[in-house]
Each structure stands twice: as structure tokens, then as C-alpha cells.
């Protein structure tokens, strides 16, 4: 089994790596609406109800938006089919529209990015090292795409 040196991975999107978190403040536009964080935009994408999207946009914190998205929205019927591509698009936007965040992401080099968490999310992250880490995979793919665009002279 191939083991990665602890120095070669980031396992928590907190403190100096809080910019990797979907809770990090940065404006994100989704279907013409501007949201204060990627988390707000992602939760809004879960519903097709414009009134619910307006409510989400006005929610004070990303944690509150996340809870609202779990309990109080009308989930779109195709959510399971589109959620990964929506997350990919939102993450790409976050790191291409905000130069400081782009540079911070590029500065992670080739480190493995793992959204380690304690709230039980084994789809977007990992718990005790187990899970799909889809957010980490998307972040690494976006990092590679941005790097490739710079190398090819088509910087974003």
C-alpha cells in the first residue's frame, strides 16, 4: 500500500487552510444570484424555488445556510445527478474569480487535499480517514486545471 507523507497532505480546511473550506467568505454567483460563500450558493442550487434561494442568500452564516438546506428546502428532483458538477463549477469559480484564493490554492503545490471532518460527511470528505473526499478531489482537479491554463498561456 502506498502511503503519503503527512507533510504532503492537508487534512483540515481550518486555520491557514480555511480558504479551502466552502464556508470561507467570498462572493459566488449562481444562476445570476450573488451569494456570500460557496456554501450558500451550493445550498441554493439544491432547490429550483427562487423564493427559497432568496432566503438562502440572506442567511447570516454558511453553517446556518447548510442547516437550512438540510431541513427546509424543496430538493430538486435531479439533485443526486447534478450535485457534483455544480460543486465543481462553484469551486472553479471561487478559485478563478478571486486572485488571492487562486494563489493560495496554487501554493498548496501537489499536496493531497483531504476534507477531514467530524460531522460524518464521507461523501464530500473523510471521517477518520475513510470516505470519498469528493471536495478534496474537486479542489485538486481545479488546482491542476488552473495550473495547466497558466502553463498553456490561457491564464484565467
Q: By percentage, how much of the chain surpasses pLDDT 90?
A: 89
Judged by DSSP in three states, 87 sits in helix
Position 2 scores a pLDDT of 46
pLDDT of 143 above 50? yes
For the stretch 88-139, pLDDT in tens is 999 999 999 999 999 999 999 999 999 999 899 999 999 999 999 999 999 9
- Tell me, yes or no, if the pTM score tops 0.85: yes
Q: What is the mean pLDDT of the chain?
A: 94
CATH number listed for the domain at residues 6-151: 1.10.357.40
Residues facing 112 on adjacent strands: 9
pLDDT of 4 above 80? no
For the stretch 43-85, pLDDT in tens is 999 999 999 999 999 999 999 999 999 989 999 999 999 999 9
For 32-78, give the secondary structure using H, E and C.
CEEEEEHHHHHHHHCCCCHHHHHHHHHCCCHHHHHHHHHHCCCCCCC
Amino acid at each position: 500500500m502506498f502511503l503519503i507523507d503527512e507533510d504532503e497532505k492537508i487534512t483540515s480546511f481550518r486555520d491557514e487552510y480555511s480558504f479551502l473550506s466552502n464556508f470561507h467568505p467570498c462572493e459566488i454567483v449562481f444562476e445570476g444570484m450573488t451569494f456570500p460563500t460557496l456554501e450558500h450558493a451550493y445550498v441554493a442550487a439544491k432547490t429550483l424555488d427562487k423564493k427559497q434561494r432568496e432566503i438562502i442568500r440572506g442567511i447570516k452564516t454558511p453553517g446556518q445556510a447548510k442547516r437550512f438546506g438540510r431541513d427546509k428546502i424543496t430538493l430538486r428532483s435531479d439533485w443526486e445527478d447534478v450535485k457534483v458538477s455544480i460543486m465543481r463549477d462553484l469551486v472553479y469559480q471561487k478559485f478563478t474569480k478571486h486572485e488571492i484564493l487562486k494563489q493560495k490554492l496554487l501554493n498548496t503545490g501537489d499536496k493531497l487535499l483531504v476534507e477531514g471532518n467530524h460531522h460524518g460527511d464521507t461523501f464530500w470528505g473523510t471521517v477518520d480517514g475513510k470516505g470519498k473526499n469528493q471536495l478534496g478531489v474537486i479542489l485538486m482537479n481545479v488546482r491542476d486545471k488552473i495550473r495547466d491554463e497558466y502553463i498553456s498561456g490561457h491564464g484565467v
